[in-house]
């Protein structure tokens, strides 16, 4: 579902104009891309600050409403104040919702407590925590989940092993990445409960 965002068009751009916007506690921003002229806009500072608490915001479709109409866009960059951490500028890129976009989303591991390999004393190596994906913005997941339940010692989860939603593909150079491994050695048979004692 798209995030609707109301904005005012700024008639004057530049650093001085941006500073004037910030003095009103609002956030200057720009919409660019799709071979159209960039548009300088102004966002309600309080509303935008609350919106930034939304998880995986950069995978979302924004519908930015101005006096000139509505623009479909994605949030590309946010600049923060070095002391207060308040947002001081945002960049939005226009998109065509019918064409694929490239997005990076977080990777999450689950069921570590029931993982076969970890129960046997293996060590989890969660090496790659973000994955590049390609697909339509409305089909893009907030995150990709790796289930550790059946993963054994010595096994690896590569990019090609990730479970992706329909219509979503791995981005470039993601297929052979080792996202998760279970390191360690398998226990010796004689160390397992019930195994016959070794002869002296």
How far is it, in rounded angstroms, from Cα 63 to Cα 45?
Answer: 17
What domains are defined for the chain?
A: 3-94 (2.40.240.10), 101-185 (2.170.120.20)
Instruction: Profile the chain (200 residues) by mean pLDDT over runs of 10 residues.
Output: 92 82 92 94 94 91 95 96 93 96 96 95 96 96 96 96 97 96 77 52
pTM, 2 dp: 0.81
CA-based torsion, 12, 14, 20, 25: positive or negative: positive
Check residue 187 and give its pLDDT.
Answer: 76
Bridge partners of residue 63, in order along the sequence: 4, 72
Check residue 106 and give its pLDDT.
Answer: 95
Check residue 200 and give its pLDDT.
Answer: 44
Nearest to 192 by CA among 138, 140, 120: 120
Check residue 170 and give its pLDDT.
Answer: 98
**Rg, Å, the chain Cα set:** 24
Check residue 190 and give its pLDDT.
Answer: 41
* Number of other CB atoms surrounding residue 163 within 10 Å: 9
The alpha carbon torsion through 158, 134, 146, 151 (nearest 10 deg) reads: -20
Query: Rounded to a whole number, what is the largest CA-CA distance in the chain?
Result: 90
DSSP structural state of residue 98: T
């Amino acid at each position: 579902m798209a995030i609707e965002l109301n904005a005012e068009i700024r008639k004057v751009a530049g650093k001085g104009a941006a500073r004037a916007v910030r003095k009103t506690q609002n956030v200057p921003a720009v919409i660019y891309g799709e071979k159209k002229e960039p548009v300088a806009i102004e966002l309600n500072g309080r509303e935008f600050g609350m919106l930034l608490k939304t998880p995986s915001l950069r995978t979302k479709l924004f519908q930015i409403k101005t006096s000139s109409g509505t623009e479909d866009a994605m949030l590309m960059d946010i600049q923060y104040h070095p002391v207060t951490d308040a947002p001081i500028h945002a960049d939005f890129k226009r998109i065509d919702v019918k064409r694929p976009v490239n997005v990076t989303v977080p990777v999450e591991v689950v069921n570590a407590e029931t993982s076969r390999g970890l129960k046997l004393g293996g060590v989890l190596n969660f090496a790659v925590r973000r994955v590049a994906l390609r697909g339509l913005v409305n089909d893009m997941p907030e995150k990709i989940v790796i289930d550790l339940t059946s993963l054994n010692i010595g096994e690896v989860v590569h990019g090609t092993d990730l479970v992706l939603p329909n219509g979503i593909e791995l981005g470039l150079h993601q297929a052979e990445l080792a996202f998760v491994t279970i390191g360690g050695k398998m226990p010796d048979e004689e160390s397992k409960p019930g195994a016959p004692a070794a002869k002296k």
